[in-house]
Chains A and B, each alone.
Chain A
Amino acid sequence: MTSALPLHLRRLEAESIFILREVVATFENPVMLYSIGKDSSVMLHLAMKAFFPARPPFPLLHVDTTWKFREMIAFRDETAARLGLDLKVHTNQQGAAAGVNPFDHGSSNYTQIMKTEALKQALDAGGYDAAFGGARRDEEKSRAKERIFSFRSAHHGWDPKNQRPELWSLYNTRIAKGETIRVFPLSNWTELDIWEYILAEAIPIVPLYLAADRPVVRRGGQLIMADDARMRLLPGEVPEMKRVRFRTLGCYPLTAAVESDAASVEEIVHETFSVTTSERQGRLIDHDESGSMEKKKREGYF
């Protein structure tokens, strides 16, 4: 029952539901970016609540770089089937044909081609006028500055210096033809809120979040999991089994694990109280250079 939730989670839940409904009521053709991670799982759960007894009246879109963890893909397909949702999967075919990968092309180019470009292709192809994303303001400094309804030009660009004022819950949803809005229903949630909510609502998550013995190599101070045979090992590297889990999930060669014994959501909540590094520490693409998230976002990254 919802009323069992603590007050702050109840408010966050209601705020997110309001945002989800506002989009469906005012846009022609919305889509939900589904990244399979914990935030997407919460966002999807909120969508199931917002439109009940109807199903969420929009498709899910997953941009598949082909380098996701295998368990993520299995979880994705199982979730869509369990909830009876319309799942659309898009891969940048030119990029895939050219063999673009995180090893040879550098994380920055790879992200640009297989994620950012792929996303733009999928949004254009679907003719979507609004796209939900699971980003939170506490993740990163430039995200802390972003509106809940974030306007994008016809070329998907973000102009951080010229954002619409966003007052009360009066979201300005008007756009011209070709323009789009990205909507972040989880803007005001923190990492801890997400975990507490997953715990309270028993929301299914990818098992990679829970500690288990997994084959990893230590590289540049980070633990990288060898998820399949495509993992390129450097001379002298031998994957060893370590008890690890992931705080954030992306492409496996670019996502670092943390050593942890937290094998249940309760234990994760406890661990999240006491961690001393931010969750995006495990995202290798953020470290390309300072301010690199803002740059990616201006180009259309979610």
Chain B
Amino acid sequence: MSEPFTVLQLASEASARAEPDKGTLRFLTCGSVDDGKSTLIGRLLYDSKRLFDDQIVALEKDSKKFGTAGDAMDFALLVDGLEAEREQGITIDVAYRFFATDRRRFIVADTPGHEQYTRNMATGASTADLAVLLIDARKGILSQTRRHATIAALLGIRHVVLAINKIDLVEFDRTVYERIVAAFDEDAGHYGFASRVAIPLSARFGDNVSFQSERMPWYRGPTLIEHLETVDLAPELAPSRPFRFPVQWVNRPDLSFRGYAGTVAEGEVSVGDEIVVARSGHAARVARIVTHDGDRESAAAEDAVTLTLDREIDVSRGDILAPATARPEVSDQVAAHLIWMAEEPMLPGRPYLMKIGTRVVGAAVSELKHRLEIETMKPLAAKTLALNDIGFANLSLAEPVAFDAYEENRTTGAFILIDRFTNQTVAAGMIRFGLRRATNIHRQALTVDKASRALAKSQKPAILWFTGLSGAGKSTIADLVEQKLNLLGRHTYLLDGDNVRHGLNRDLGFTDADRVENIRRVAETAKLFVDAGLIVLVSFISPFRSERRLARDLVEAGEFIEVFVDTPLEVAEARDAKGLYRKAREGKIRNFTGIDSPYEAPEAPEIHLRTTETDAQSMADGIVAYLQTRGYLGG
């Protein structure tokens, strides 16, 4: 074997050499399961002499125990670090590996091929500059190959290497190689990679990995390592991009210093430059660029610095500082690609948290435009996104945020969605563009407003939201409360689950997606009635915490009173006034709350009614008293 690697040059020596500092290349290996990703990385580490003797000894030992390569060393065992991975011979989670040649340093993300771990592949892709897409020469392009190519492209990776692996198992056949390349290129238009290099190789034996294979004289292109060492990543970075600085932390050690700490996401900034806070438009000049190593005159992309401004303006974590002349977009409606990463499906209307840059805001999918079918690369109509689905959607945010299109800026155009209750990261998102609707549909300022309408009725409007199992007694109690309020001369309206389904929501069924939409419409309607000055009684099973939270967030603090009608399932089922539990148990009704669909009890309801302890009349009186003591019923 030739010796393409020498040990890395010392930093001081490297700077003395003519070659410019190429920095670090971050790439990932991806592709379908068993295509040899881990083996390839093991091979790269081995060939680059970055394996230590004790690691090689351990590898020889492990190869005998778990190995799938016969007597030879099984390089995959070098990187599959988790016990479950070694036992099952698969990669579950992304692993990061480090090696270097005399020309460049590399950080490799080795990502899993199994479809169920696709989210871990996306994790690896989000920080990579280049993707090495492995393809088993015997199998050609599989749907998982397409999925990974699609995700890599969506995440903004512009350079792809087709590593056509296990070429030894097809007798180094040129036509196999050419067929696979042609098949990939048919889809290439969908991906839009800036460069595509195809290399026939054998990770197990090393052909065309770090030395030119003598067994494929027909291939004259670079070896994998030659290509990785020389690929030019950033020709498009030449034109200067506008300055972007997401404020991460406000540094106030004492009254005399107020600095904005953050990492420059794009562009450059110098002392004296005029900047604006993107969201508010407030302007100031950069007074100092502070670092521990002394003040600087300017800072550029990837520099972690602290800026001070020449005047006091309102700046906090989550703001983006930008030049006044080239501001990011600001909107509360965006269109974005989503990669769904949770077992729980995405439901339009359900409130999530969006983390974008250093900012966190409430967000919901207002409209799912399509789901991408990987097999055909076609957009299909869809109501939800399941684990590992890729979709394109409009999102509606609780407040306007500043952003750029992801294509323009991977830092200010990317976001994650977080479940509000489990705190899991449920999606990765890439903004395509802002929807101008929010800025163009100006709210009409009306003379008569909620306060004056409420005043005319001498009451404080609110929503009484009754939640509980079917048959818990919600409607009975709500009805009693409304009667009592009527006698007191209060203005009310009762929205009942069953009744609304006959009209406004008659197009909706009982799937999770439809339940969410059902509640969203009811909550919006209740909000209009609150605006009209009414006390609104809503009687809905509303089984999901997130939707009740959505309803709560629609109105002002103090206007949402959650009433938990707490009846144990056995009791509600024993009553079974409508005979629904029996039908559900017989399987005649599907998705029935409490039987085959969950009910998430409120954690901190304003009013908690234990129906097995008190009668309906006294509970209704209790609610009226609650309203009276808190001033909802006026004088």
Contact = CB atoms under 8 A, between A and B. Distances in A.
Interface stretch (A60-68, A136-144, A236-244): A136-144
A270 interface: yes
B23 A17 contact: no
A50 B304 contact: yes
Interface in B518-560: none
B289 to A, nearest CB: 12
A51 B251 contact: yes
A193 to B, nearest CB: 9
A14 B263 contact: yes
B86 A52 contact: no
B294 A1 contact: yes
Interface string A263-293: 0000001100111111001000000001100
A300 to B, nearest CB: 17
Contacts of A219: none
A278 B98 CA distance: 13
B55 A278 contact: yes
Given A141-B81, A196-B11, A167 B414 contact: yes
B306 A52 contact: yes
Contacts of B213: none
Given A168-B127, A277-B53, A291 B83 contact: yes
Contact of A18 (B78, B263, B290): B263
Interface stretch (A4-12, A72-80, A81-89, A115-123): A4-12
Given A51-B251, A167-B123, A174 B423 contact: yes
A144 B263 contact: no
A104 to B, nearest CB: 28
B122 A165 contact: yes
A53 B105 CA distance: 33
B24 A52 contact: no
B93 A145 contact: yes
B94 interface: yes
Given A53-B290, A167-B126, A145 B52 contact: no
Contact of A167 (B14, B263, B428): B428
Contacts of A161: 82, 84, 92-93
A109 interface: no
Question: A18, A53, A276: which has the most chain B beta carbons within 10 Å?
Answer: A53
Contacts of B24: 7-8, 11
B7 interface: yes
A290 B428 CA distance: 35
A170 B415 contact: yes
A206 interface: no
Interface in B69-102: 78-84, 86, 92-98
B96 A137 contact: yes
B423 A175 contact: yes
Q: Decide if the interface of chain B is mainly helix, strand, loop or mixed.
A: mixed
Nearest to A269: B10
A198 to B, nearest CB: 12
B52 A24 contact: no
B458 interface: no
Contacts of A213: none
Interface residue tally on B, bucketed by range:
35 or more
B547 to A, nearest CB: 20
Contacts of B384: none
B11 A9 contact: yes
B86 A277 contact: no
A294 interface: yes
B15 interface: yes
Contacts of A234: none
A21 B96 CA distance: 23
Contacts of A163: 93
Given A1-B294, A165-B122, A175-B423, A273 B8 contact: yes
B218 interface: no
Contact of B123 (A1, A166, A291): A166
A50 to B, nearest CB: 7
Question: B8, B54, B80, B105: which has the most chain A beta carbons within 10 Å?
Answer: B54
Contacts of A14: 263, 302-304
Interface string A15-30: 0011001101100000
A165 B118 CA distance: 10
Contacts of A52: 290-292, 306
B334 interface: no
A164 B53 CA distance: 34
Interface in B303-358: 303-304, 306, 317, 341, 353, 355-356, 358
Contact of B58 (A50, A273, A290): A290
B596 interface: no
A144 B58 contact: no
Interface string B101-123: 00001010000000000011011
Contact of A144 (B84, B95, B358): B95
Interface stretch (A34-42, A91-99, A184-192, A224-232): A184-192
A157 interface: no
B410 interface: yes
Contacts of B53: 276-277
Contact of B83 (A6, A13, A168, A294): A294
B411 A21 contact: no
B584 to A, nearest CB: 32
A142 B416 contact: no
Contacts of B611: none
B95 A21 contact: no
Contact of A270 (B10, B127, B263, B356): B10
A6 B14 contact: yes
A145 B120 CA distance: 11
Interface in A169-226: 169-170, 172, 174-176, 187-188, 190, 192, 196, 200
Contacts of B120: 165
Contacts of B414: 167-168, 170
B246 to A, nearest CB: 10
B128 to A, nearest CB: 11
Nearest to B120: A165
Contacts of A166: 123, 425
Given A2-B291, A138-B98, A21 B261 contact: yes
A269 B92 CA distance: 35
A21 B248 contact: yes
A160 interface: yes
A78 B82 CA distance: 39
Given A168-B411, A273-B10, A278-B52, 8 more contacts: A8-B21, A21-B249, A22-B248, A49-B292, A143-B81, A144-B96, A165-B123, A294-B82
16 contacts: A8-B24, A10-B302, A14-B303, A21-B261, A22-B358, A49-B304, A52-B306, A144-B79, A165-B416, A169-B411, A172-B425, A174-B423, A188-B96, A200-B11, A274-B7, A277-B54
Interface of A: 1-2, 6-11, 13-14, 17-18, 21-22, 24-25, 48-55, 137-138, 140-145, 160-161, 163-170, 172, 174-176, 187-188, 190, 192, 196, 200, 269-270, 273-278, 281, 290-291, 294
Q: Which 3 A-B residue pairs are closest in the complex by CB-CB distance?
A: A141-B81, A54-B253, A17-B304
